[in-house]
Amino acid sequence: MRKHKLLKSLASLQVPAIGYGIRYEFGIFNQLIRDGWQVEVTDKWLKGGWPWELPQPDEACFVGFGGHTENYSDQKGNYQSRWIPGEQAIGIPHDVPVLGYRVNSCNRLRLWRADATESFDFYAFNIGDYYGAVEEKVGSETLSKVLYPNDGTDEGRRLRLKQQHFFVSCSLQDMLRSLKKREIPIEEFPNHWTVQLNDTHPAIAVAELMRLLIDENHFGWEKAWKITTNSVAYTNHTLLPEALEKWDLSLFASLLPRHLELIYEINRRFLQQVRLRYPGNDLILRKLSIIDEEGNKAIRMAHLATIGAHHINGVAALHSDLIKRQLLPEFAELWPQKFTNVTNGVTPRRWVALANPEMSSLVTKHVGDEWITNMELLNKLEELENDSSFLEEFRSTKLSGKRKLAGYIHRQTGILVDPSSMFDVQVKRIHQYKRQHLNALQVITQYLRIKNGQAQGMAPRTVIFGGKAAPGYYMAKLIIRFINGIAEMVNADPDMDGRLRVVFLPDYNVKLGEQVYPATDLSEQISTAGKEASGTGNMKFAMNGALTIGTLDGANIEIRQRVGEENFFLFGKTESEIMELQNNNYNPKDFIEAIPELSETLRLVQLGHFSNGDVDLFKPLINNLIENDPFFVMADFADYLRAQDNVSRAWTNRAAWNRMSLLNTARSGFFSSDRSIREYCESIWEVKPLPVEITCDVN
């Protein structure tokens, strides 16, 4: 499982499951902000140990890499292949119990630590080759050292592929071993295991399961393929081309030669089916092939996952539709029955009950505590939408959260913020498609309005950003510097006192989110339409009573439908309108010239006003917006500003705002991860709860 929240829901719903992953020693990085720039420092996940894990060395697995394959004939004269790996690593499982909420079920998160088959070469040490003496140990243990190693280098890409094969192979071996322990025939694998691939990272499982069945357990191809395709399902989490993994053929061949042979055979048999369906259509063969023949030949992992899976789902209604229409249209035409949708969810136990105890107590007081496992019961709160005393209590829980966050901000950044101001928040990974720079530009426009005496009716705001940029993503890092440059200028200007503050929260992470979500008044969900798969932060905000300003993207669409159009601040071009702009040679300058406030905003940045007079610092960012604008920031700017003006007007009527806030919470029950898991169980996995009964013998 990619998401721990899904394991928690599975346990709470009493559905037996195991989540598999790597026991990383270091996270991606901790973020420091120095002179406005992101600085990455080591994130030591396992510093001091972790008391919740239970090592299981007796259940270790061996995983091979490199080497070569050789052919032979078995005792019956059948043609066979075997893989002779050039190196091996050992996977040591560490189990983390995942308890269900107020039930007897306990599921398991099994994380694999990499170890060497031979940790010390005594001969090499004795002849003075001290590095060589531990080379195998260092190389093997690197597999579980760092989450998401930088894949900007050949060695980084090689390590990522090794990590993926390592945890997939260990996990599949573990599943097969569990059947043997219980004396269950391997043919019944699909009846006891469903292998859910979360994105393309574990897609090598299709080839690895085939290898284990054919090479290790001596199944014929047809039987092995039937077991595999009846067991594997694939969840796609992104439409971005850079996130849909492709592996260079030469790299793949050097690391996993047997798997490459199996993928070639899977592809050959699949393309034969395509030829029968579309005779003479070479174009569709090239589009559907697992092997990308354009430029450097590569393996398309999304295609491998799609061909090997019995279901493919997106994580929001729009996203699932775009998978069928844009990402995998030929596959959807070939196998329409495979494609479905399961909208994401978040666990109310953590993101409301734990993170927002004051609001939780208030809700429980009025609707009982069963809402924690049945979020749909929150809709009873709608009966109180005109109860002024309850709305005031609801508002006070929000104010309490804002005071706590204000204290945290002052301790971490030295910035004093007013809890009575609107907390306008955008916290998520820094990426151009998430458009933190659109938000930053409108902050400059608001700043200019105040300076020019045109701020009538503007709500006092504290604009809060948070998120990390990938270490090799220069433009995302420049956006962080841009936000901090704006914050430095705005917060030092006495004209902004009581009207505008800008904060960048360093090292934003999930734990800090527990303070941010309950304190937020306005949730910024402003990605370019058609780019965000779903989002889960948008759900956490809504559950905690934040109003959303957003585009028709990802789960925003469903949030707006659920909470009511009148309780959502919509702006921006739709996915189809974005496509139309692309097809008509979109020119951002046309929009800039038509919006005087936008031109003035960009001009101020170009003059170095937010970079201590350095006119070159933000030039790459501004030139990208003016000349190219790949995520349509300029096209959406005017409508975004209009929506922000509507937000200010709504804020002035606090009773109405409180009512809108309450309705966001009351109508957010659909976005519980419990509902997501029920849909997976019913429509994809075909599994039912297995309650655990515990009886006590008093004698």
Over the stretch 457-481, which tens digit does the pLDDT of each residue have? 999 999 999 999 999 899 999 999 9
Q: Tokens for 514?
A: 């527990």
| 153 annotated active-site | no
| Residue-level pLDDT at 146 | 85
Q: What is the pLDDT of residues 50-94, one digit of tens each?
A: 899 999 999 999 999 999 999 988 777 777 889 999 999 999 999
Active-site option among 398, 428, 468, 562: 428
Active-site option among 434, 481, 560, 562: 434
Closest CA to 263 of 221, 293, 304: 304
| 287 annotated active-site | no
Q: What angle do CA 248, 304, 296 make, to 5 degrees?
A: 20
Active-site option among 3, 8, 94, 237: 237
- Name the strand (E) or helix (H) holding 123: helix 122-126
Residue 23 contacts by C-beta under 8 Å, 6 or more apart in sequence? 46, 53, 94, 111, 112, 113, 144
| Residue-level pLDDT at 408 | 98
| 536 annotated active-site | yes
What domains does the chain contain, in order, with CATH numbers?
Answer: 4-344 (3.40.50.2000), 348-581+633-669 (3.40.50.2000)
Query: Quick check: 434 and 527 in contact, CB under 8 A?
Result: yes
**Beta partners for 88?**
64
pTM listed for this prediction? 0.94
| 366 annotated active-site | no
Active-site option among 3, 211, 531, 540: 540
| 540 annotated active-site | yes
Active-site option among 194, 200, 536, 665: 536
Closest CA to 54 of 93, 25, 83, 99: 93
| Residue-level pLDDT at 136 | 52
Which amino acid is it at 576?
S
Active-site option among 226, 429, 449, 675: 429
Q: What are phi and psi of 467, to 5 degrees?
A: 155, 160
Residue 281 contacts by C-beta under 8 Å, 6 or more apart in sequence? none
- Counting as low any pLDDT under 50, the low residues of the chain are 1-2, 120-125, 129-131, 133-134
Q: How far apart are CA 281 and CA 274, in angstroms?
A: 9
Q: How far apart are CA 559 and CA 17, in angstroms?
A: 29
| 269 annotated active-site | no
Which amino acid is it at 165?
H
| Residue-level pLDDT at 630 | 97
Q: How far apart are CA 577 and CA 552, in angstroms?
A: 11
Closest CA to 168 of 266, 301, 278, 270: 301
